[in-house]
Amino acid sequence: MIDTQEIEVQRTEHSRLSEINFKNLPFGKVFSDHALIAKYTNGEWQAPKIIPYGDIHLSPATSALHYGQAVFEGMKAFKNPDGEILVFRPEKNHERINRSAERLCMPKITEHIFIEGIKQLVSLDRNWVPNEPDSSMYIRPFMIGTDPFLGVKPSDDYLFMIITSPVGPYYSKPLHLKVETEFTRAAKGGVGFAKAAGNYASAMLPAKKAQNQGIDQLIWTDAKEHKYLEEAGTMNMMAVIDGKLITPPTGSTILAGVTRESFLILSREAGYIVEERPIAIEELISVARSGKLEELFGVGTAATTAHVAKLSYEDETFELPPIESRKISNQIGNQLIGIKMGTVEDVHNWNMKF
Ligand SMILES: *Cc1c(COP(=O)(O)O)cnc(C)c1O
């Protein structure tokens, strides 16, 4: 049972809502009026509070700033045609932040703070959830170690917060991706499966180098041989070859996306053959070269379904089939976004609605 007790609210006296242009939202730069905050001290979580969004005060010795005990999550809230708010499978994100936390020696977050926290925070700022097509409210829970201590050890105290941001689309056009064969995102036994802050820092230089060559994002490969496709760093990758939907299995190096899992469930239900198996880069490139790579796309909360228009590998660049011709990514991608927005029936009861 979730503890549905009311969370204490300190309301803002200066709502910024009227200053926001909902027709032109950048990703992740505008924040709603309120945030949720909870502190972990003396070995337990203290009562969460909802407070006006604003700067937080930290010691310069805060351990997360030095040693990276920091994990986060990402979700989206949509408004359905009746004006109700939908949040897609938040219990999956709750489970995942706790798996990430465990790997980084951080405490588990309670359902009351995470799930009920999202519900009460987003309810309070419900007028910040956009109505515009392709727009939503991005929900960012995160936790950091807060001990003001420079010794390398797990922090005793932690801060958990949820901030929310009304957003437009993340990628506005089909992508040009490159298979990365020099740098590594995650190695077996590491933290690749966790939404841990450090994973994103180490991916920035390789991504920037690729962006300097006009490439949008990287497709990461295994750390050992750079021979197998892993994921794209903010989204899981899927390919369609011979009419079959293929995606690598998740393990310690691939983040288990909620979008990925949901996409596979809907694809199987629609009668498609789904294979969760390693995809060799050699196979991917050979089908791309012979024109048999029917679809290639990324799936993730931020990006939704991101079609890949061009694929680069070493000195070659392949133009993939026209986006309109892509059956599975269009059909299932539209079904999934429809469920999230409340325009397609949610037969799995995936949405938390309030
Ligand atoms: C968040 C994330 C994804 C996508 O996960 P969803 O739960 O579908 O949003 C994929 N890969 C990485 C590395 C991520 O951080």
Q: Is the pLDDT of residue 171 over 80?
A: no
What's domain 175-341's superfamily in CATH? D-amino Acid Aminotransferase, subunit A, domain 2 (3.20.10.10)
Ligand 1 center from residue 75 Cα (angstroms)? 10
- The residue nearest atom 9 of ligand 1, judged by CA position, is 301
8-169: which CATH architecture?
2-Layer Sandwich (3.30)
Mutate to test the pocket of ligand 1, among 301, 336, 340 (most ligand atoms within 8 A of CB): 301
Ligand 1 within 6 A of CB of 185 = no
Residue 2 clears pLDDT 70, i.e. is over it: no
pLDDT of residue 285: 97
Q: Is the pLDDT of residue 1 over 70?
A: no
Residue 86: what are its φ and ψ, rounded to 5°? -120, 130
Residue 172 pLDDT > 80:
no
- pTM, to two decimals: 0.96
Angle at which helix 258-269 crosses helix 90-103, to 10 degrees, equals: 130
Total Cβ atoms within 10 A of residue 66:
14
What integer is the mean pLDDT of 33-37? 98
Q: What is the structure's pLDDT at 4? A: 81
Looking at residue 294, what is its pLDDT? 98
pLDDT of residue 194: 98
**pLDDT tens column, 266-318:** 999 999 999 999 999 999 999 999 999 999 999 999 888 999 999 999 999 99
Question: What are the domain boundaries of the chain?
Answer: 8-169, 175-341
State whether the beta carbon of 145 lies less than 6 angstroms from ligand 1. Answer: no
Residue 218 confidence (pLDDT): 98
Same fold, 8-169 and 175-341: no
Average pLDDT over residues 241-249: 98
Ligand 1 atom nearest the C-alpha of 262 is 8
pLDDT confidence of residue 264: 98
pLDDT, averaged across the chain: 96
- Going by alpha carbons, the residue nearest to atom 1 of ligand 1 is 234
pLDDT over threshold 80, residue 3? no
Q: Which band of pLDDT confidence, cut at 50, 70 and 90, is reported for residue 131?
A: confident
Cβ–ligand 1 distance for 92 under 6 Å, the answer: no
Q: What is the pLDDT of residue 304?
A: 87
Give the mean pLDDT of 114-120: 98
Q: Mean per-residue pLDDT for 3-11?
A: 92
Mean pLDDT of 168-181: 88
262 lines ligand 1 (CB under 6 A): no
Per-residue pLDDT reduced to its tens digit, 255-266: 999 999 999 999
In the reported structure, the alpha carbon of residue 256 is separated from the centroid of ligand 1 by a whole-number distance in angstroms of: 7
